Amino acid sequence: MKLYNTLTRQKEEFRPIEGNTVKIYSCGPTVYQYAHIGNMRSYIFMDILRRVLKYNGYQLKHVMNITDVGHLVSDADEGEDKMMKTARETRKSPWEIAEYYTGVFMDHIAELNIEKPEIIPKATEHIDEMLEFVEALVEKGYGYETSDGIYFDIMKFEGYGKLSGLDLEGQKAGARVDVNKEKRHPADFALWKKAPKEHIMQWPSRWGMGYPGWHIECSAMGRKYLGDEFDIHTGGVDHIPVHHENEIAQSEALLGKPAVRWWLHGEFLLVDNGKMSKSLGNTYTVTDLREKGYDPLAFRYMCLNANYRSKLNFTWDGLKAAQVALDRLIEAVVAHKNADPEVKVPDEIVQGFEKEFLEAINDDLNIPKAMAVAWNVARYGTKSQDLYRLLLKMDQVFALDFSKAAEKIKEETPELDPEILELIEQRQQARKEKNWKVADEIRDRLNEMGILLEDTPQGVRWSYKK
């Protein structure tokens, strides 16, 4: 299979470094607020990567960190700690906050059918590893101490900027103001920060009480669980210039060789063609989707319909279209599921579809193309359980609950309150008497109440309007 490596800016044939196991590190959530659907898109991308690798027969050893130690509000390592800010505002301890938001995050990724990575370490439980990492860097001459912390000296590291194509001179000449005069280069970054007394989260170190810089956790935990060299590192495109550049600098400076083979980055989700931001009030969460009547999997479907390396524009209309499409796809899957077991589809047809599907997912996770194949299977003229099995196989990658949803449709006889049941009964009576006027009036009335009626050959079916 081929994957696009940000480091080389091209698709490369993927082979694990060692045997059949793929070692992956994914930048995980900072748990001091709700993760929004933009964050979720990244984890859906991470999940698709996992599933495609597994489909290809690989074993996974996958680490995703939980950042439960506060990063700072601004760069240049200044300003208030984010975790502290939330703590102050909610009068809770950082630990309580982290636990709460971690729980919500786990619920949300579960609703999106995002598989949990095998190893999910918390930053606060790996302070020792981070300190060891920092100490080793200082001993090697890559770190230096200032009055407020230990910084990484990027000029000592030759490859700095290779991931993002950063022009350090250009950066220097830019509008950016260097607020920290003790730093040797404006882009030098903190490995360890000395903590002021009021800082809630702090740990002892050889430089006194302090807390880790915001890049070190990924390097330290990745190394602990995956070793000095691992296959894939994922994250959002926003991490390319600073976070991942710094990770590369730290790890490579320490090891004397690259720690990561493939850098994979997921593009942003835009909302109404612009950036998501709290000030615009468009940082929707999975909870928001559900409250508006959408299946979180409709959002997953929406994400699957676009390449992970392209920006995707989120709109409510777009989500609605995705929900309709997903519902119909499931209906089509059910038609195959209920097909006569005697009906066969020629092997070469089934295998042809399967091959097309595999080629798509193995071409840098071309899921939109794979979905097109699934649609062609779903709408194939002959309904057959051969194709149902194929669709279930494809769903190992899509994870759109083909099988579960098919069950659900079968058993759909929800509860209704008696008043509405009575109205439906009255309408049935009117229909029997061919009193269409009354029947239609009742249907309209129910419609206004948000109940949709459908007369099917099997009887009346109702549902809540979306």
Query: Considering only residues 69-128, where is the footprint of RNA by CB under 7 A?
Result: 71-76, 82
> Distance between CA 313 and CA 321 in Å, rounded?
13
| Residue 368 binding RNA, by CB under 7 A | yes
**Residue whose tokens read 């098919």:** 406
Nearer to RNA by C-beta: 184 or 320?
320
| Residue 49 binding RNA, by CB under 7 A | no
| Residue 371 binding RNA, by CB under 7 A | yes
Size of residue set near RNA by CB under 7 A: 85
From the list 106-114, 200-208, 222-230, 450-458, the region that binds RNA by CB under 7 A is 450-458
> Distance between CA 212 and CA 192 in Å, rounded?
4
Cβ burial, residue 340 (10 Å; 0-12/13-18/19+): exposed
- Least CB distance to RNA at residue 23 (A): 20
| Residue 27 binding RNA, by CB under 7 A | yes
| Residue 432 binding RNA, by CB under 7 A | no
From the list 89-97, 369-377, 400-408, 414-422, the region that binds RNA by CB under 7 A is 369-377
The tally of CA atoms less than 13 A away on the side-chain side of residue 57 is 5
| Residue 372 binding RNA, by CB under 7 A | yes
Q: Contact with RNA (CB under 7 A): which of 229, 369, 385, 466?
A: 369
- Least CB distance to RNA at residue 153 (A): 18
What 3-state class would DSSP assign to 175? coil
Nearer to RNA by C-beta: 38 or 210?
38
From the list 35-43, 104-112, 117-125, 143-151, the region that binds RNA by CB under 7 A is 35-43
- Least CB distance to RNA at residue 50 (A): 16
Q: What is the DSSP string of 300-337?
A: HHHHHTS-TTS-EEE-HHHHHHHHHHHHHHHHHHHHHH
C-beta separation of 392 from 428 below 8 A: no
C-beta separation of 301 from 314 below 8 A: no
Nearer to RNA by C-beta: 135 or 363?
363
Q: What count of other Cβ atoms lies within 10 Å of the Cβ of residue 324?
A: 13
Q: What is the DSSP string of 194-238?
A: EPPTT-SS-B--TTSSEEE-TTHHHHHHHHHHH-S-EEEEEEEGG
C-beta separation of 156 from 141 below 8 A: yes
Buried b (16+ CB within 10 A) or exposed e, 183-196: bebbbbbbbbbbbe
Nearer to RNA by C-beta: 269 or 424?
269
- Least CB distance to RNA at residue 193 (A): 13
Residues contacting residue 238 through CB under 8 Å, at least 6 positions apart? 268
- Least CB distance to RNA at residue 169 (A): 8
Contact letters for RNA, residues 259-278 (x by CB under 7 A): -------xxxxx--xxxx--
Cβ burial, residue 211 (10 Å; 0-12/13-18/19+): buried
| Residue 16 binding RNA, by CB under 7 A | no
Q: Contact with RNA (CB under 7 A): which of 117, 212, 236, 296?
A: 236
Q: Which has the closest alpha carbon to 385: 365, 406, 405, 356?
A: 406
- Least CB distance to RNA at residue 20 (A): 27
Q: Contact with RNA (CB under 7 A): which of 200, 392, 451, 453?
A: 453
- Least CB distance to RNA at residue 255 (A): 23
| Residue 165 binding RNA, by CB under 7 A | yes
Nearer to RNA by C-beta: 146 or 366?
366
| Residue 376 binding RNA, by CB under 7 A | yes
| Residue 243 binding RNA, by CB under 7 A | yes
Q: Contact with RNA (CB under 7 A): which of 1, 7, 24, 35?
A: 35
Query: Segment 303-362, which members bind RNA (CB under 7 A)?
Result: 305-307, 310-313, 317-318, 320-322, 324-325, 327-328, 331-332, 335
Cα 461 off chain centre by: 36
In DSSP terms, 235 is beta-bridged to: 265
Nearer to RNA by C-beta: 165 or 208?
165
- Least CB distance to RNA at residue 66 (A): 12
Q: Which has the closest alpha carbon to 248: 116, 187, 157?
A: 157
C-beta separation of 123 from 221 below 8 A: yes
| Residue 164 binding RNA, by CB under 7 A | yes
